[in-house]
Amino acid sequence: MIDWQKEAEARREDLLRDLDGLLRIESVKDPATASRKRPMGAAIGEALDYMLNLTEAMGLRVENVDGYAGYAQYGAHDPVTTIGVLGHLDVVPAAGSWTSPPFEPTIREGKLYARGAIDDKGPTIAALYGLKIVMESGLPLSKNVRMIFGTDEESGMSCMRYYADKVGMPTVGFAPDAEFPMIYAEKGQFNPTLTPKIAPVESKSLVRLESFEAGLRINMVPERAHAVLSGDIRPLVESFEEFCRRHRVKGAAEINAGQAMFTLTGVAAHGSEPEKGTNAGTMLALFLEEASLQPEGKAFIGLLNAMHEDFHGERLGIACSDEVTGPLTVNPGVIRFGMEEGDTQIQFTARCPVSADYGWIKAQLEEKVDGFDFRISDVREAGSHYVAKDEPVIRALQTAYAEVTGDEPKLLTSGGATYAKFMAKGVAFGACFPGKKMTAHQADEYIEIDDLLKATAIYARAIYELAK
């Protein structure tokens, strides 16, 4: 009988060394450095090369799939039997205030801090070391195990669509990119861009909104917002400190060259769980709600106010729910206002129940935003994903989790989207444990080292259970 936890502990130093090297690569998508061989940018390409070199040195068969993805395979059985383990190497920008540099991995009090520590470099390395344990233990397998490394998970998952079209995707497997025990159902996504129906015009108003900016990605709750106003601005500046104190947020305002500049700091969170953060953009709009703004500024702020803490889309008229995945959630993640045509837009992500009707959602939203003289100018949709509870892959992963942890392997659902949906019978499996804080997309992202090793043991047991 193999002691999976002991095997993981025996590889602690090697695992942390290899993870450290990966975490030091600032693998944020960067179109400015994109090339044919590195379509997501130079740094993400470097991260993919790192993983393929690392896995090849472990004795795995590797292939770079045109820079969009890569794989490392153990076994030469019938390809139809292949078990997929899908992780991603790209990360979201390291916004906010970090205690230590986000791409200089630092261990404090048993926690490894870095961007990507929990999402998803740490779990991906843990899964790789789980496979390494199986390999080095000489356990007989009847199926291939293929680790697939993606490069565009945080910005649309074009990498996995490319891989699936060019190579073909395993049917069964898991993505180590969420929570334990496992997520068997993921919500779909309805991601619209809202823009004004009319161009800015000159108008007489007491206060003029010149610019507004918050957020970097729709799948992140904006942590910081900036606004510039002109006109009768002194009363606003004088009342801003009291507003921030009342709402328990940090903010600053100053007057320079006849304009007032407001900055507000909220709390970042994953866009699929907006209630866990404080949206700096909609909070700053709440402050500006009573200002005597020009018509286009007033419409923009009014729409943002309708979205403030409207986590389930009730004021937008798109609230819906089902028994499998629960209620729809809304996160306004990219917010811009400017006085030139084309400068103003609000992008948000709605995470939709598996039974949601996207046509109904769009119609409801169009009617609501029309009242603010806005329209839906673009929509990106992604379907939901659901695996039946009695599928063998579910039972196999439950067996692995229960055996290593001794805990009940409850089935979960999520508003987040993972690579699991690219496999017909794929589920999201770890690596955040029940009761632990999920710090993905936040400043000071971390994973507890003991949890990282426990996840490694679980992944080793799971890989063996799936492929034996």
**What's the CATH number where 42 sits?**
3.40.630.10
**What's the CATH number where 274 sits?**
3.30.70.360
Higher pLDDT, 205 or 114: 114
Q: Do 10 and 147 reside in the same domain of the chain? A: yes
Q: Which of 362, 382, 402 is the last residue of a domain?
A: 382
Q: Which of 328, 355, 382 is the last residue of a domain?
A: 382
Query: If you search the block for the tokens 């890989």, which residue do you land on?
Result: 463
Residue 427 has a pLDDT of 97
Mean pLDDT of 455-464: 98
Residue 199 has a pLDDT of 74
Q: Do 183 and 196 reside in the same domain of the chain? A: no
Domain count, the chain: 2
Q: Do 355 and 300 reside in the same domain of the chain? A: yes
Residue 202 has pLDDT above 90, yes or no: no
Judged by DSSP in three states, 259 sits in strand
Rounded mean pLDDT of the chain? 96
Percent of the chain with pLDDT over 90: 93
Judged by DSSP in three states, 81 sits in helix
Q: Do 300 and 356 reside in the same domain of the chain? A: yes
Please give the residue range of the domain that contains residue 301.
189-382
pLDDT tens for residues 76-123? 999 999 999 999 999 999 988 999 999 999 999 999 999 999 999 999
Q: Do 135 and 233 reside in the same domain of the chain? A: no
Mean pLDDT of 175-190: 96
Residue 447 has pLDDT above 90, yes or no: yes
Query: If you search the block for the tokens 């002691």, which residue do you land on?
Result: 3
Global pTM reads 0.83
Q: Which of 382, 413, 447 is the last residue of a domain?
A: 382
Q: Do 199 and 181 reside in the same domain of the chain? A: no
pLDDT tens for residues 273-325? 999 999 999 999 999 998 999 999 999 999 999 999 999 999 999 999 998 89
Residue 222 has a pLDDT of 96
Residue 201 has pLDDT above 80, yes or no: no
Mean pLDDT of 327-346: 94
SS (H, E, C) 6-44: HHHHHCHHHHHHHHHHHHCCCCCCCHHHCCCCCCCCHHH
Q: Do 324 and 397 reside in the same domain of the chain? A: no
Chain centre to alpha carbon of residue 385: 16
Q: Which residues lie across from 337 on neighbouring strands?
A: 212
Residue 230 has pLDDT above 80, yes or no: yes
Cis previous bond, 431, omega within 30: yes
* Beta pairing, strands 69-74 & 61-65: antiparallel
Q: Do 115 and 183 reside in the same domain of the chain? A: yes
Give 217's Cβ-side CA count (13 Å radius): 20
pLDDT tens for residues 7-39? 999 999 999 999 999 999 999 999 999 999 999
Q: Are 256 and 270 a contacting pair, CB within 8 Å?
A: no
Residue 292 has a pLDDT of 92
Residue 342 has pLDDT above 90, yes or no: no
Residue 339 has a pLDDT of 83
Residue 225 has pLDDT above 90, yes or no: yes
Distance CA 177, CA 454 (A): 15
Residue 9 has a pLDDT of 98
Residue 259 has a pLDDT of 95
Q: Do 378 and 441 reside in the same domain of the chain? A: no
- Encoded amino acid at 97, one letter: S
Q: Predicted confidence band at 52 (pLDDT cuts at 50, 70, 90)?
A: very high
Burial class for 422, CB neighbours closer than 10 Å (0-12, 13-18, 19+) = buried
Mean pLDDT of 452-464: 98
Q: Which residues lie across from 431 on neighbouring strands?
A: 178
Task: Count other C-beta atoms under 10 Å from residue 202's C-beta.
Answer: 7
Q: Do 377 and 441 reside in the same domain of the chain? A: no
SS (H, E, C) 205-233: CCEEEEEEEECCCCCECCCEEEEEEEECC
Distance CA 240, CA 253 (A): 7
Q: Do 62 and 106 reside in the same domain of the chain? A: yes
Catalytic residues: 90, 153
Q: Do 146 and 234 reside in the same domain of the chain? A: no
Give 193's Cβ-side CA count (13 Å radius): 12
